[in-house]
Amino acid sequence: MSRFVFPRWTNKTPMLAGAVLGGAPVYLTFLIWFGFSPKTLDVGYMPEQPVPYSHALHAGELGIDCRYCHTTVEKGAAAGVPPAETCMNCHQRVKKESKKLLPIRESYTTGAPVEWVKIHDLGDFSYFNHSAHVTRGIGCVSCHGRVDQMVEVYQHEPLSMGWCLDCHRNPDPHLRPPEEVTNMTWEPPEDATTYGKSLREKRNINPSEDCSTCHR
């Protein structure tokens, strides 16, 4: 819960926080507006990773499908992050001496997982499920942005309750055929809302707003 008290950047910049605290009323307004506003939680969060793995290169230029690595995204609650074996399918041959890939080779030999830093992280009191969204036709891009253009992944959406509910109340503009969910450049054949409405009615899609859907 600590992130409801102080925005995450204050951990890294106590000096700055101290300086701003000097002007407490201003700081409080700032904190309430940017820290608690349900639209701005952690957007842009981009921690440093142990390996400079680029989605722009692998998912963008090389065109590897998201599901090649995030193998459980259609079957389970979590999308999953790939083990070193998946990387070594290629990197046993490609760039096999690269220093940047040292932690991958180590993990491959020792079996100890690579310590990727989790970027998207809901509080324990909220429940999320990938397969429930992806199999009903919500694309990765709706919640994660243009990952295929990100050299380093960052959090694109607030993942706040207000953000979840905005779509649960009106999913139409976000719906697409389930086979297109990993296609980052998919466009609806007609106006997105009209097309989404027809998909929703045909497939009987009805996202719930009950508290127990997300807090169980």
On whether the CB atoms of residues 191 and 175 are closer than 8 A, the answer is no
Q: Which is nearer to ligand HEC, 24 or 92 (CB)?
A: 92
Give the tokens for residue 140.
């990765």
In angstroms, give the least distance from the CB of 25 to ligand HEC: 23
Q: Which is nearer to ligand HEC, 75 or 100 (CB)?
A: 100
On whether the CB atoms of residues 67 and 182 are closer than 8 A, the answer is yes
Q: Which is nearer to ligand HEC, 21 or 213 (CB)?
A: 213
Q: Which is nearer to ligand HEC, 20 or 86 (CB)?
A: 86
In whole angstroms, what is the distance from residue 162 CA to residue 142 CA?
15
Q: Whose CA is closest to 59, among 173, 152, 189?
A: 152
In angstroms, give the least distance from the CB of 19 to ligand HEC: 27
CA dihedral sign, ordered 97, 80, 186, 145: negative
In angstroms, give the least distance from the CB of 18 to ligand HEC: 26
Q: Whose CA is closest to 51, among 110, 106, 109, 11?
A: 106
In angstroms, give the least distance from the CB of 113 to ligand HEC: 11
Q: By CB neighbour count within 10 A (0-12 exposed, 13-18 middle, 19+ buried), where does 172 fall?
A: middle
Q: Which is nearer to ligand HEC, 15 or 211 (CB)?
A: 211
In angstroms, give the least distance from the CB of 30 to ligand HEC: 18
Phi-psi region of 159 (alpha: psi -120 to 50; beta: other; left: phi over 0): left
Q: Whose CA is closest to 82, among 55, 47, 63?
A: 55
Q: Whose CA is closest to 54, among 142, 172, 152?
A: 152
Q: Which is nearer to ligand HEC, 31 or 140 (CB)?
A: 140
In angstroms, give the least distance from the CB of 21 to ligand HEC: 24
